[in-house]
Chain A
Amino acid sequence: GDSVTQMEGPVTLSEEAFLTINCTYTATGYPSLFWYVQYPGEGLQLLLKATKADDKGSNKGFEATYRKETTSFHLEKGSVQVSDSAVYFCALSSRAQKLVFGQGTRLTINP
């Protein structure tokens, strides 16, 4: 079945560092891909998405490119801030409209 594998955390960085969180997937067909973020004490919020190969999703300085050849959707940000501290989830959605999530990566940014 469909699955998502994320880079294991926790990840700790200093402010202004470059961030990469790896995400790879296994799916039949052509899924849509998502990154969600969960701030402490809150539900999940959509960060960005891509619905077809080579699409780049971007939001709040974060970017991810849908790479069909490597079945990947890595999350990147050029300069992180303390306010980016959160748990990040990679997910895919098939035509069945269900989301399959990775296990989540906890990110902590130190000032």
Chain B
Amino acid sequence: DVKVTQSSRYLVKRTGEKVFLECVQDMDHENMFWYRQDPGLGLRLIYFSYDVKMKEKGDIPEGYSVSREKKERFSLILESASTNQTSMYLCASSSARGRGKNEQYFGPGTRLTVT
């Protein structure tokens, strides 16, 4: 069974802290994605990666960075957490074969609260 795992289900951090969210997939997928989910706004793409060491900005990259040192792992970094980054964060992966036709597989999400 395909699997995307995220390091924490719930996380509480203080304003100004550096926060790391980890995502691991076991499907040998080339593509990995980070989204944030907020009520009424759906899912918004923060960053994505088509390959190891590659990263591309999504729609809302400000205040975030990412790291992809290994194919199976994609990390989201909040350099200095702020209260407006309180949200649900979802990681996803997909195969690059069949460009655009393949579904993305999602992790269970990390609910981050910044106080």
Total residues of chain A contacting the partner, CB 8 A: 24
A73 to chain B, nearest CB (A): 14
Whether B90 lies near A98 (C-beta < 8 A) is no
Stretch at the interface among A12-20, A42-50, A60-68, A75-83: A42-50
B70 in the interface, Cβ–Cβ < 8 Å?
no
Q: Which of A17-72 contact B (CB under 8 A)?
A: 31-32, 34, 36, 41-46, 49, 51
A92 to chain B, nearest CB (A): 9
| B45, B96, B108: the one within 8 Å of A42 (CB) | B108
Total residues of chain B contacting the partner, CB 8 A: 26
Whether B42 lies near A102 (C-beta < 8 A) is yes
B74 in the interface, Cβ–Cβ < 8 Å?
no
A39 to chain B, nearest CB (A): 11
Whether A98 lies near B48 (C-beta < 8 A) is yes
A contact set with B: CB distance below 8 Å:
31-32, 34, 36, 41-46, 49, 51, 89, 93-99, 101-104
Q: Which 10 A-B pairs give the minimum distances between C-beta atoms?
A: A43-B106, A103-B42, A44-B106, A101-B42, A101-B43, A46-B103, A95-B100, A43-B108, A51-B101, A32-B101
